[in-house]
Structure 1
Amino acid sequence: ENMAEEHEINETEINAINEEKAENSNEEETEGNTSFKELGVTGVLCEACDLLGWKRPTKIQVEAIPVALEGRDVIGLAETGSGKTGAFALPILQSLLSHPQRLHTLVLTPTRELAFQIGEQFEALGSTIGVKTAVIVGGIDMMSQALVLAKKPHVVIATPGRLVDHLENTKGFNLRALKFLVMDEADRILNMDFESEVDKILKVIPRDRRTFLFSATMTKKVQKLQRAALKDPVKCAVSTKYATVDKLQQYYIFIPAKYKDCYLVSILNELAGNSFIVFCGTCNNAQRVALLLRNLGITAVPLHGQMSQSKRLGALNKFKSKSRSVLLATDVASRGLDIPHVDCVINFDIPTHSKDYIHRVGRTARAGRSGKSITFVTQYDVELFQRIEALIGKKLPAFPTQEEEVMMLVERVNEAQRFARIEMKEQGEKRKRPRGGEDDGDDAEQSSGVRKKVKGGRFRGGKGGGFRRGR
């Protein structure tokens, strides 16, 4: 109880801070664009926005924040990279300020990495007012999460599966007092992936609550939205139905499937100095291509669902800190992740669902910056590509490549492919060993062990410089 009291947001203290700020600063009214203050955001949160470098509200924030502050439910539809997190976080924190309460808000997200990112944003915006958050996702020890939940944080950010585990198994944890439910990337949460989990969660949280649904794309499954019990929601849509941002240059390359690896290496060489996210269709392919690039001396790191959570976060941090220039990812990284320095997105495997294209290419050209996307189209992908063009309402131009130059890479790439296959096989055997420890072959850095094994055999690897046949 003492701990809870110690962490409780002190309402009178906050009111005093706000009054002091109002007296001390006759803030100049912003010219032209709306300010957060004009949207009705309280002084202490406006200051938190300043500290984060948010000078002006984005379009979705201008639309959604006043409506949310009025007490309405919101469905927010805006292109990716447009500040959706701020659009729901600010009204929630303002509500917390006026009515401090533990276990006040639940934010549901489809992926673990997005949950951590939203947690960081809530921490940053709420740091001056003492907001406590908890990120509850799979792949992390249940006991340590139960201890965090026992302290009753104000905001819980969770993936649906792990939250259901805690609601069913963690003694003393419930969400009966919940005031806000947010579904970020709502279309993915409301579709078949999480249908049963969402149903279980909706049964145990109060019907008398506020609900926000946000996404860059939204499905037409109205029944599921009604099941999510929105009351007379306001739809804040600030983009055409499914849009990609204007500052994104989108290209395609039509290539034979057997030369995909060669074209990838060629583009990474041609655009060297940029940072890339390369999207693959399967965990296996993401791992294989990461090892292939590593063998060619390109600093690449994989991120996929078969890696442990600590290694997933480690891979993301290596890419964010720019110590790796290429992130090989499956669709776990396609939604919501905000990495400012991504210069180019490559769809190595074309997405099966056209809407996933919008999320993938939205990893670049965020918050007004420019970026580039290149989609590989093989003889098997033509129909899928035509669907994507129809969805975004654009005909994409071809990316210029020199076929002769690409073909010069074939031999080196074939050799690197053989290395990658050997390494994949060894990693698969390691995972089968009962006492092999937890090795997800996380990053292709572990390939050095394989090189030792084949050093005196048929191949000899050279970092960055192609391969020579051994004796």
Structure 2
Amino acid sequence: MADQREASVDQEKKNTKTVEKENNTQKTEEKNNSLTPEDDSNTTDNETQDDTNTEETHKSFRDLGVTEVLCEACDLLGWKKPTKIQIEAIPVALEGRDVIGLAETGSGKTGAFALPILQCLLASAQRLHSLILTPTRELAFQIAEQFDALGSSIGVKTAVVVGGIDMMSQALVLAKKPHVVIATPGRLIDHLENTKGFNLRALKYLVMDEADRILNMDFESEVDKILKVIPRDRRTFLFSATMTKKVQKLQRAALQDPVKCTVSSKYATVDKLQQYYIFIPSKYKDCYLVSILNELAGNSFMVFCGTCNNAQRVALLLRNLGITAIPLHGQMSQNKRLGALNKFKSKSRSVLLATDVASRGLDIPHVDCVINFDIPTHSKDYIHRVGRTARAGRSGKSITFVTQYDVELFQRIEALIGKKLPAFPTQEEEVMMLLERVSEAQRFARIEMKESSEKRKRPKADEDAADDGEQSSGVRKKIKGGSFRGRAKRGR
């Protein structure tokens, strides 16, 4: 009887293995036959199997059909393997199809549209070949850097056309007819209307990066004007981490038989991102921010604020406590914005205080932690903000401040991403020990804000100096105890 029972169990195991093998084979065939995978990012047990099959099929950019010279450029940039969105979008784009690419932030969307465009340029070089539209100036410069790096060996010329920079100098660059124009919609319309000889009648590719943001920032009328002056016979790519009804409307109007390449079927954050929240009284937000920056000292932070004024105030507050912080917001001149970004990228500043102008697309590899000092009004902006860290397979951390006024907004964010966030561990007694020194720094920050607003009313020579508050170092010396960081550590 025992022998019969063992034989029966062995037979059941064999049958189970056979069924599992058939199921896996069927899943692999379904994935290979589908051009529009909808469930690639679902967190199920099947995801690992599907991802493994995809990586086995496409192990390198060469396997995707990318030409040798561009593969070498990818190697020089450190792009060893294509990401999920690149695996899905590049072969389709190389076939000459329109593409809608949906993937979480930090997933390599820029490479997914840059490589097909450069390969097309290699096949038939043409001036004013491609137009890339972006919602923010900083993202436009970053995309230009990617094109310059990938196309350096083949002589690709790019032009960045954004507001805040002299139009005449931009017109001179456009007169040379670069291959790729990267622009914000408003300034591009200015040039189309006012710059003689500049037109996009021969355009081959139109790309909208962060497409939902372009349309939600009231660029809809500008986009309509642009679509009227470019050829209908073109390739169009829409890329974003989130999709809105306006993008779906644009998709119907501007794309011809598009292929939807989705590696994020829901609004998701990457797995290697550790997400936390802190529930605190509104009046103690500054104290908790300083405490966290001190506790995680040595890391690189992006702190998102809701307004330009608050970003400037918190930057001055932190400087008065000896923390190397710099603001980035829309009320700064473009030169100062780029300067602030470069200082943060070069690690000469450890904290970047930013509004949502920095929440989209910016790729700064060394960002260790994102802090939502002011909770975003729109839930989808949360996904883009925290996407500044844990990019391209790296790990990262995000902490969201939730006050008594933000509970409903926070619940919407949790509902959107489909998970409950854990509380970040803090010791209230230790935080309150900082109250006196933070209050003093707040007072000096208010004084400096008042002085800088008065400077803006003076001649323009003083204006740039006051833009990011870099000149406000004198007040810092007035706070007792010198460097904040050392004192706080001893107090703990």
Whether TM exceeds 0.5 here: the answer is: yes
1:210-289 correspondence runs (5 A) = 210-221=235-246, 222-227=248-253, 229-289=254-314
For residues 195 and 462 of structure 2, the distance between their equivalents in structure 1, rounded to whole angstroms, comes to 28
For residues 188 and 461 of structure 2, the distance between their equivalents in structure 1, rounded to whole angstroms, comes to 30
Residue of structure 2 in register with 1:395 after alignment: 420
1:145 maps onto 2:145 in alignment: no
Query: Which of these two proteins has the greater Rg computed from alpha carbons?
Result: 2
Offset, 1:218: 1.1
| Partner-residue secondary structure (3-state), 1:193 | coil
> In structure 2, which of residues 317, 327, 337 is the aligned counterpart of residue 302 of structure 1?
327
> In structure 1, which of residues 347, 350, 355 is the aligned counterpart of residue 375 of structure 2?
350
Offset, 1:464: 2.1
> In structure 2, which of residues 388, 392, 415 is the aligned counterpart of residue 363 of structure 1?
388
Structure 1 pair 463/135, CA: closer, same or farther in 2 (3 Å)?
farther
What 5-or-longer segments of structure 2 have no aligned partner? 1-54, 486-492
> In structure 2, which of residues 483, 486, 489 is the aligned counterpart of residue 464 of structure 1?
483
Is 2:332–2:468's contact at 8 Å kept on the other side of the alignment? no
Is 2:272–2:395's contact at 8 Å kept on the other side of the alignment? yes
Is 2:171–2:191's contact at 8 Å kept on the other side of the alignment? yes
For residues 465 and 145 of structure 2, the distance between their equivalents in structure 1, rounded to whole angstroms, comes to 26
Residue of structure 1 in register with 2:20 after alignment: none
Structure 1 pair 461/433, CA: closer, same or farther in 2 (3 Å)?
farther
Offset, 1:310: 0.6
> In structure 2, which of residues 396, 411, 416 is the aligned counterpart of residue 386 of structure 1?
411
1:3-152 correspondence runs (5 A) = 33-152=58-177
| Partner-residue secondary structure (3-state), 2:452 | helix
Residue of structure 2 in register with 1:414 after alignment: 439
For residues 130 and 81 of structure 1, the distance between their equivalents in structure 2, rounded to whole angstroms, comes to 27
Is 1:278–1:327's contact at 8 Å kept on the other side of the alignment? yes
What 5-or-longer segments of structure 1 have no aligned partner? 1-29, 467-471
Structure 1 pair 268/206, CA: closer, same or farther in 2 (3 Å)?
same
Residue of structure 2 in register with 1:23 after alignment: none
For residues 145 and 46 of structure 1, the distance between their equivalents in structure 2, rounded to whole angstroms, comes to 31
For residues 214 and 144 of structure 2, the distance between their equivalents in structure 1, rounded to whole angstroms, comes to 18
Residue type at the aligned position of 1:223:
K
Structure 1 pair 435/77, CA: closer, same or farther in 2 (3 Å)?
closer
| Partner-residue secondary structure (3-state), 2:191 | helix
Two-structure CA RMSD over aligned residues (Å): 1.5
Offset, 1:465: 4.5
Please state which structure has a larger fraction of its residues in helix: 2
Offset, 1:240: 2.8
Is 2:206–2:235's contact at 8 Å kept on the other side of the alignment? yes
Offset, 1:434: 3.9
Is 2:58–2:87's contact at 8 Å kept on the other side of the alignment? no
For residues 72 and 235 of structure 1, the distance between their equivalents in structure 2, rounded to whole angstroms, comes to 10
Offset, 1:460: 5.3
- Normalized against structure 1, the TM-score is what? 0.89
Offset, 1:220: 2.4
Is 2:323–2:484's contact at 8 Å kept on the other side of the alignment? no
For residues 247 and 70 of structure 1, the distance between their equivalents in structure 2, rounded to whole angstroms, comes to 33
Identity value in percent: 88
| Partner-residue secondary structure (3-state), 2:394 | coil
| Partner-residue secondary structure (3-state), 2:64 | coil
Is 1:295–1:461's contact at 8 Å kept on the other side of the alignment? no
Is 1:422–1:450's contact at 8 Å kept on the other side of the alignment? no
For residues 51 and 124 of structure 1, the distance between their equivalents in structure 2, rounded to whole angstroms, comes to 9
1:160-193, Cα deviation, whole Å (9 max, x unpaired):
1111110011111000100000000000112252
For residues 128 and 118 of structure 2, the distance between their equivalents in structure 1, rounded to whole angstroms, comes to 13
For residues 358 and 311 of structure 1, the distance between their equivalents in structure 2, rounded to whole angstroms, comes to 27
1:184 maps onto 2:206 in alignment: no
Is 1:103–1:175's contact at 8 Å kept on the other side of the alignment? yes
For residues 126 and 302 of structure 2, the distance between their equivalents in structure 1, rounded to whole angstroms, comes to 40
Structure 1 pair 440/185, CA: closer, same or farther in 2 (3 Å)?
farther
How many pairs are equivalent? 430
1:11-40, Cα deviation, whole Å (9 max, x unpaired):
xxxxxxxxxxxxxxxxxxx97752111111
For residues 137 and 54 of structure 1, the distance between their equivalents in structure 2, rounded to whole angstroms, comes to 28
For residues 298 and 61 of structure 2, the distance between their equivalents in structure 1, rounded to whole angstroms, comes to 37
Structure 1 pair 147/461, CA: closer, same or farther in 2 (3 Å)?
farther
For residues 217 and 337 of structure 2, the distance between their equivalents in structure 1, rounded to whole angstroms, comes to 24
Structure 1 pair 225/191, CA: closer, same or farther in 2 (3 Å)?
farther
Offset, 1:226: 2.2
1:412-456, Cα deviation, whole Å (9 max, x unpaired):
0000000000000000000012455432633332113556xxx8x
For residues 77 and 335 of structure 2, the distance between their equivalents in structure 1, rounded to whole angstroms, comes to 27
Is 1:295–1:464's contact at 8 Å kept on the other side of the alignment? no
> In structure 1, which of residues 141, 159, 180 is the aligned counterpart of residue 184 of structure 2?
159
For residues 154 and 190 of structure 1, the distance between their equivalents in structure 2, rounded to whole angstroms, comes to 25
